[in-house]
Structure 1
Amino acid sequence: MSAFQQRVFSGVQPTGNLHLGNYLGAIQKFVDLQDNYDCMYCVVDMHAITVWQDPNELRDNIREVTAAFLAAGIDAKKHIVFNQSRVPQHAELAWVFNCVARMGWLNRMTQFKEKAGKDRENASVGLFAYPALMAADILVYRGTHVPVGDDQKQHLELARDIAQKFNNDFADSIAANGHADGFFPLPEPLITGPATRVMSLRDGSKKMSKSDASDLSRINLRDDAEQIAAKIRKARTDPEPLPSEAKGLEGRREADNLVGIYAALSGDSRDKVLSEFGGGQFSSFKQALADLCIEKLAPITSEMRRMQADTAYIDSVLEDGGVRARELAQGTMDQVKDIIGLLR
């Protein structure tokens, strides 16, 4: 990895209704990584259209995700914030990777099976092939690190497999073009913090999701203080008091989820949270969790609303990021074409 400049790449789909799981699982981590890496944070709108999107809603959702990035503290001047479709090299490299990846690799992707359900024959080709586009998202910038949740680790492994196969398939050409250690890095996952996977407030076995029929299952980033407090108060728990150490949460999914959310918002470990609240009733813990959620999210929600009202500003951030991203991506694609034998 030392041959490559360290660069973080990650993205969020603009599918609407951002929630606490998006914030803790992704956006908060993006903010934390800024001090130690060159970062590229992408609104992955081309991934969103693997299922049909209302065009007007899609435009609004792209701006909403951008506003969330900025409101949470991502510095768009020091780093690069952009929407994927502004950089056509993503799709260009994805086609190359479609020709490198094997059908068997994509057939093993569990997320496609989950999203397509029983009607796999009616799913879009894009939904099947999007892991190759995800690999291109990272590798068109020769990204070395990707903050991922547990559900994306398989796709990152595929990106590594594609990079390795490309490096092997074109080893002689890559060396002739001056890259002794391979052309693409094998990107590493960055899995940090106590709540990489935030679960539903109504069912601890399911991930918090915007598609859940019950709005009580999630805390939306647009919720006000009263809504946040009500949802946490109604969150499912069990009759036992909180344990005094993390081992006592085993088999208690809903309790573990709420403690994990508190830990992630406070920056403390689960054990530290339980040393403070262990032995007590859920009612007092829920009140403390609601207060903490409101304290952390209210300023972000307020700033998001302000920014979303100023679409010209949001669009200027995306335009600037797109220009800077295209410059990097074009440099990669020029070299890829030389390596694989395409004239340019």
Structure 2
Amino acid sequence: MGSMARKVSLTGIKPTGEPHLGNYIGAILPALQLADNYESLYFIADYHALTTIRDRDLLRHYTRSVAATWLAAGLDPDRTTFYRQSDLPEVFELSWVLSCLTGKGLMNRAHAYKAARDRNREAGKTDLDAGVNVGLFNYPVLMAVDILIMEADVVPVGRDQVQHVEYAADIAGAFNAVYGDRFRFKVPTAVIPDEGSAHTLPGVDGRKMSKSYGNTIPLFVPDANLRKLIRRIPTDSVPVEEPKDPDSAAVFTLLERFGTPESVAETRQRLLAGGMGWGEVKAQLTDALIAQFAPLRERYETLMAQGSELDDLLAHGADKARKQTRLVLERVRDAIGIG
């Protein structure tokens, strides 16, 4: 895989919640577009989710849900390689090897670990590591292995995730410095999607849509629940007959992204002229979302059904991925003098 003429792109998706509109715009669509120019790999980082999820049934559900979402959104398992992290045992053996070459000081500076310590400091706790598990601390090593074992050239990430790719490059460099005469890891680079709507999609409270804020609009929520969620989006109290500023309202920002250009332009004019209420805009947004995602939801629900082709598709992807991971681990084992 690493020797192919086209460069390799790797995208990891952590199954820690129901996929929502922000994921679709900010992560799924940009990552799927990379398949046009790269040998593309997509994996579900189910072992990464163990740092926070303790419910076995929930983890299983989220893993299947994420897989079904990406397939429904247009991921082509024949054109790309799509697999579960947990189906690649080589990842976890290599994780130990590379953790033995990774400085603890590097891990001390990882954003997630520092944020956990900062929260404990602000809460007045004397033990700044309270509630921090070793999985969270070692998380960047496992993520580095996900990238390096597939010999990825590029990794699309949000700006707040760039450090993980930088760590992968540092850890590759540490291995190459010791064993590079026998095997060298490819050093990856981060690709950051264009700034814009992907990073400013508002949630139902007007803030950036995020699971951490609890303000998301799930992709495949039933129509009646979707209408309730959209109605919750805050708007000003300007009377219906008065002119309104479309750009000041989260509901219009969402309509701009999901409505047709013609309907969005007409709604903008009607709001500026007065005589249109926000309730009507919310109804338009709901209808636009239902129209756009109904076909995807149908595919999603088919895949989520017991006995669907979902597990076979993931097993097929794992077989393709393991051709790569077995080869790399074999070469690593030879380089370090094991096996």
The 5-angstrom pairing of residues 41-190 of structure 1 reads 41-114=42-115, 117-118=119-120, 120-171=129-180, 173-174=181-182, 182-190=184-192
Residue 291 (structure 1) aligns with? 287
Match of 2:299 in 1: 303
SS at match of 1:26: helix
1:232 pairs with 218, 230, 233, which one? 230
The more displaced of 323-332 and 91-100 is 91-100
- The corresponding residue for 1:6 is 7
Which deviates the most, 287-296 or 305-314?
287-296
Compared with structure 1, are the counterparts of its residues 276 and 199 closer, same or farther at alpha carbon in structure 2 (3 Å cutoff)?
A: closer
| Larger-gyration structure (1/2) | 2
Supply the AA of the counterpart residue of 1:201: V
Q: In structure 1, what residue type is equivalent to 2:170?
A: D
Q: SS where residue 9 of structure 1 aligns?
A: strand
Query: What code does the residue aligned with 2:220 have?
Result: R
- Give CA-to-partner distance per residue, 1:180-230, whole Å, 9 cap, x none: xx53222232414633334432151x5511x555xxx22112312333233
Match of 2:124 in 1: none
Maintained 8 Å contact 1:63/1:311: no
The SS at the match of 1:231 is: helix
Structure 1 stretches (4+) deviating beyond 6 angstroms? 1-4, 273-276
* Residue 97 (structure 1) shift: 2.4
Q: Residues 30 and 107 (structure 1 numbering): CA distance in 2 closer, same or farther, change over 3 Å?
A: same
Alignment of 1:252-263 (within 5 A): 255=250, 259=253, 261-262=254-255
Distance 2:142 2:15 in 1: 16
Between the aligned residues of both structures, percent identity stands at 31
Aligned residues: 318
Relative to the length of structure 1, the TM-score reads 0.80
Structure 1, gaps ≥5 residues long: 244-248
TM-superposed CA distance for 1:131, in Å, is: 1.2
Instruction: Return closer, same or farther for 1:120/1:296 CA change in 2, 3 Å cut-off.
Output: farther
Instruction: Name the CA distance, whole Å, in 2 between partners of 1:331 and 1:267.
Output: 48
Q: What SS is found at the alignment partner of 1:31?
A: helix
Q: 1:62 to 1:274 in 2, by over 3 A?
A: same
**1:33-48 matches, cutoff 5 A:** 33-48=34-49
CA contact (8 A) 2:149 2:328 kept: yes
C-alpha spacing 1:183/1:156, structure 2 compared with 1 (3 Å):
closer
> Comparing 114-123 with 130-139, which one deviates more in the overlay?
114-123
Write the deviation string for residues 285-343 of structure 1: whole angstroms up to 9, x where unpaired.
Answer: 5444333322222222222111111434111111111111111111111222233x222
Q: 1:2 to 1:89 in 2, by over 3 A?
A: closer
Contact 2:98 2:141 in 1 (8 A): yes
CA distance in 2 between counterparts of 1:149 and 1:275 reads 33
Query: CA separation of 1:36/1:224 partners in 2, compared to 1, >3 Å: closer, same or farther?
Result: same
Tell me the amino acid that sits aligned with residue 203 of structure 2.
S
How many angstroms apart in 2 are the aligned matches of 1:325 and 1:277?
48
Task: Kindly report the root-mean-square deviation, in angstroms, between the aligned alpha carbons of the 2 structures.
Answer: 3.2
Q: 2 CA distance for matches of 1:2 and 1:330?
A: 15
Kindly tell me: are residues 306 and 337 of structure 1, through their superposed partners in 2, closer, same or farther at Cα, counting changes over 3 Å? same
Of 197, 205, 219, 1:221 maps to 219
Structure 2 stretches lacking a partner, 5+ long: 121-127, 239-243
Moved more, 129-138 or 87-96: 87-96
Could you tell me how far apart the structure 1 residues matched to 2:195 and 2:290 are? Answer: 20
Q: Which structure ranks higher in relative contact order (CA pairs < 8 Å, sequence separation ≥ 6)?
A: 1
SS at structure 2 position matched to 1:160: helix
